[in-house]
Structures are given as structure tokens and as C-alpha cells.
Amino acid sequence: MFVAKDLETPSATEPAASVRRTEACAAGVLADLIETPLAPGLYLVATPIGNLADITLRAISILSRADAVYCEDTRHSAKLLQHYAIAARTRPLHEHNEDREIERVLGEVEAGKRIAVISDAGTPLLSDPGFRLVRAAASRGIDIFSIPGPSAALAALTSSGVPTDSFFFAGFLPAKEGARRTRLAELARIPGSLVLFEAPHRLGEALQDMADVLGNRPAVIARELTKLHETLSRGPLLTLADAFTREPVKGEVVIVIGAGEPKTVTDDEVEARFRELLSDMSLKDAAKAVAGELDIPKARAYALGLKAKDQLS
Ligand code: SAM
């Protein structure tokens, strides 16, 4: 189930001449970008999600030319900026001060400044600050430029092997079980793949709820993407739930879930299976077995099991 990615290994030999040409060419493109005047506006710049090399030339050129770079955490982003020797004027923009900062940021742009926004990692606004700022900027007709690049959501989806033609990004689920299951019941109706962020310490319990509410769908846990311990774990939700409940993980994780198959199993079929099992199994054990066998949500199995049990007594 666990597949570790090969790591990049440094070449023992000198780079070929063609590689040297690529290096010079990329440096030339960056130099040209940096020399081109940057228009006033609000620049939403994607930054690496782990591997510092995952940054576009355009992102580097904008961060180095911006009049100010608003960061979710200025100390965190200092590492990235130092890595590329970008001497930007940084200011904080996070969920607690975003509303207060909107006037200042938009005032700067309206005064002709070039303002960049970055988050700690990946694409700003995706489960990160910036939406309220962009909404206000859009309503004032301010030029907004998205500088695309890494996002953990897309990196996980594309390497998952789960269908990519139609997917729904659901961000983080609520932390409390009741609210999480309610949200999952809403997501269960979406006819496509699901992509979710989750905190590592809640992964096991979240997967258990997903298996219960969504059914035993195929899923992938993408952990530590682009980093040294990058790992993809594939399996049905129940298997993953058991594995990650037994062995909690550290690091950052994205959950990708395949679309549910249209349910063809009827209530009569489910109840018939319960009648076979309930003679020598508890309702709880039978519900777990039936849910797994017929690939239906545990909650539905339990309700039909209860009905079958009443009919038997
Ligand atoms: N805006 C970011 C993006 O576009 O990737 C996501 C920010 S959100 C606050 C942080 C969550 O993204 C983490 O809890 C985790 O679910 C996911 N994440 C970020 N980096 C990751 C990585 N390298 N590997 C796996 N998941 C990651």
C-alpha cells in the first residue's frame, strides 16, 4: 500500500553542455523578467509546498520587484525570500488582521504600488488568507494577477491515480465529529473525486468518518509532498482508516477520494444479508461486515440491520 517516491540524486558527473545551456537560458529569462517594469496591481503569488526549488521564474521576479510582500507569517516566508536573496519589504497578512489590512493594501495599489501576497506554502486563498482582500480589490476594479504555481491540492490529485476529470476541493473538514459527519453527508452527493486537507493527528478519525458516511471508496493519502519523506498510500477508505488509526502519521497530508459508485444494492438485498448474519453475530459486527461486503455506508447498513433484527424477533 505504501509507495515511497524516488528522491532526486545528484549526478556524479559534470553536467552535459546542453544542461549548461538550459541553465544559462533560464538565468537569462529570469534576468529579462526582472528588468521588465512591473505594472501596479495585486499579485497573488504561489510559493513552494516543501521543496524550495518549486517556484516559478515569474514568482521570483515579482517578489523581487514588488513594493511590498504581504505574508501569512513573515518569519516563515523569510526563509524562502532569503533562499532567493529577495530583499522584499514584508508585512503580515493573516486571518486575524486581514479585514483591518484591506484598506491599507488596496490604498497602496491605488497609489500605484505593486503588492504581492503569499501564504506559508502553496497557493494563497486555498485554505489560506487572501479571499476577503481579493473580493474587496475586485469590487474596486483593482488589477489582480494570479501567479500560478504549487498547490498541495493539485499535487495530491494529479499523483493519486483517482479520476481528475471532475473533482471538488473541500478544504479542511470541521474538527468536531458531529459537524464533520454532517459536512461529509453533503460531500457524499458530489459526483466526482474529492480533495481534502487534514491535520495529521486527526487523519485516522477523519478517515473512519469518511468510510462510514461516504462508503468504502478508493482513496489516497498524499503525505509530505515534494519533501524528503513524500509518501502516497492507496487503498479503500476502511483500509486506510484502520492503518492510520493504528499508526498515526506526522507531517502534512492531503486526502483524495474517488467518486462513489452509483448504489445498485437494494434495501431488500441488504436486509436479506442481515437475516443470514444476525443468527450468530451482534448487530454492530453484522453492520460492519455488511457495509464492507456490499460497499454501503455503515450508517445505512446499521439502520437496515436494525429493521431486519426487529423482523426476526
Ligand atoms: N494554500 C496551500 C496550498 O495551496 O497548498 C494549502 C494551505 S493549508 C493551510 C495547509 C494544508 O495543505 C496542510 O494541512 C495539508 O493538508 C496541505 N499541505 C500543504 N503542504 C503539503 C505537503 N507538502 N504535503 C501534503 N500536504 C500538504
From CA 196, how far away is CA 203, in angstroms rounded?
A: 11
- Ligand 1 mean position to 121 CA, how many Å? 7
From CA 31, how far away is CA 29, in angstroms rounded?
A: 5
Averaged confidence pLDDT in the chain: 94
Q: How confident is the model at residue 124 (pLDDT cuts 50, 70, 90)?
A: very high
Instruction: Say whether both 43 and 142 belong to one domain.
Output: yes
pLDDT at 3 (0 to 100)? 37
From CA 124, how far away is CA 134, in angstroms rounded?
A: 10
226 ligand 1 Cβ < 6 A: yes
Instruction: Say whether both 80 and 126 belong to one domain.
Output: yes
Instruction: Say whether both 212 and 299 belong to one domain.
Output: no
Give the residue-averaged pLDDT of 185-204.
Answer: 97
Q: How confident is the model at residue 247 (pLDDT cuts 50, 70, 90)?
A: very high
- Ligand 1 mean position to 225 CA, how many Å? 9
Of 101, 108, 125, 99, nearest in space to 44 by CA: 125
Residue among 252, 253, 255 whose CB has most ligand 1 atoms within 8 A, to mutate: 252
- 2 has pLDDT over 70: no
Q: How confident is the model at residue 7 (pLDDT cuts 50, 70, 90)?
A: low
- Ligand 1 mean position to 141 CA, how many Å? 30
Structural domains in the chain (count): 3
- Kindly report which listed range (4-18, 98-112, 157-171, 232-246) carries the lowest average pLDDT score: 4-18
CATH code at position 249: 3.30.950.10
Q: Identify the residue whose C-alpha is closest to ligand 1 atom 19.
A: 152
User: What pTM was computed for the model?
Assistant: 0.82
> Which set of grid coordinates corresponds to residue 168?
471538488
Q: Is residue 30 part of a domain?
A: no
Locate the ligand 1 atom nearest the alpha carbon of residue 125 and give its number: 1
Instruction: Say whether both 249 and 276 belong to one domain.
Output: no
Report pLDDT digits (tens) over 8-24. 555 667 789 999 999 99
Q: Is residue 3 part of a domain?
A: no
